[in-house]
Amino acid sequence: MDGKVLAITGGASGIGLAIAEAALAEGWRAAVADRDEAALERARGALDPARSAFAALDVTDEEAVERWVAGLAASGRLAGAVAAAGIAANVPALDTPADLFRRILEVNLTGSFLLARAAGRAMRDAGGGAILLIASVSGLRGAKGRAAYGASKAAVINLAQVMALELAPNGIRVNALCPGPVETPLVARVHGPETRAQWLRHLPMRRYAAPEEITPMALFLLDERKSGYLTGQAIAVDGGYAGSGLMPPTN
């Protein structure tokens, strides 16, 4: 993988940052984009500066995403892209304002599409690559308070399937990774004590994941040598949540 570029949106914290750290350890060059400039500064101190690049980026800005990806493609082979930027809200469907619903779709879905489209064009010209969209188990199953977030992540999963079909002839694989609850800054903001207790009651493993527990699957899906025949899939890394049935008592 030495010298290949991995572009990561939402890469300055949480799952995105954990993927960047793991990718550097496996020989990638990491290009980290995030709209949180304070988080970007912290990421600069955490990642190898000789093999990392950092950019302030709003993933809903079409022209900015196109420029960023074009610059990466010009600096080396863009072999991987991860759409990890996302926002969430825990609001009942009947209380969800339309503006909030639109904003969550704009960031989570349109932002993922813009990165995947730009990366797909660059990879098509370079002979292939892998695109990974970070979805969620909330896109696989309904969850209370997740009308907007769940809809956005379900759409991300379908987007990955459609792009996998269209880009396979170009040697480009596209998959969706569906984490369960992970201890990230976003989850810390959205999951209050009641929400956390509900998740823990329904998780067979009875705990949230650390971001580093999501990265092995992410790196596997990006590595042509390990997953070269795997595309169009939505893979849950969720402590058993998506596949669980009747749960045993907690005491």
* Closest to 136 in 3D by CA, of 32, 236, 246: 236
pLDDT of residue 88: 95
Q: Is residue 8 a contact partner of residue 32, using CB atoms and an 8 Å limit?
A: yes
* Distance linking the first and last C-alpha atoms of the chain: 47
Residue 217 has pLDDT above 90, yes or no: yes
pLDDT of residue 245: 76
Residues 6+ apart with CB under 8 A from 230: 173, 175, 221
Residues 6+ apart with CB under 8 A from 77: 3, 4, 5, 126
- The catalytic residue among 149, 208, 229, 241 is 149
Helix, strand or coil, per DSSP, at residue 78 = strand
159, two tokens:
């987007």
Phi, psi angles (nearest 5°) of residue 89: -150, 150
Average pLDDT for the chain: 95
Residue 2 has pLDDT above 70, yes or no: no
Percent of the chain with pLDDT over 70: 98
pLDDT of residue 143: 87
Residue 206 has pLDDT above 70, yes or no: yes
**Domains by residue range for the chain, with CATH:** 5-237 (3.40.50.720)
DSSP string computed for 208-249: PBPGGGTHHHHHHHH-HHHHTT--S-EEEESTT-TT--SPPP
Whether 208 is catalytic is no
The sign of the torsion formed by the CA atoms of 191, 195, 201, 202 equals: negative
Q: Is residue 80 a contact partner of residue 133, using CB atoms and an 8 Å limit?
A: no
Cα–Cα–Cα angle for 79, 81, 85, nearest 5°?
165
Burial 125-136 (b: 16+ CB within 10 A, else e): ebebbbbbbbbb
At position 15, the amino acid (one-letter code) is I
162, two tokens:
């459609």
18-58 per-position pLDDT tens digit: 999 999 999 999 999 999 999 999 999 999 999 999 999 99
pLDDT of residue 243: 87
* Closest to 133 in 3D by CA, of 105, 158, 106: 158
Distance from chain centroid for Cα 175:
10
Helices 14-25 & 37-46 angle (0-180, nearest 10) = 30
Rg of the chain (C-alpha set) = 17
pLDDT of residue 76: 87
pLDDT of residue 244: 85
138-196 per-position pLDDT tens digit: 999 998 899 999 999 999 999 999 999 999 999 999 999 999 999 998 899 889 999 89
Q: Is residue 88 a contact partner of residue 136, using CB atoms and an 8 Å limit?
A: no
pLDDT of residue 1: 39
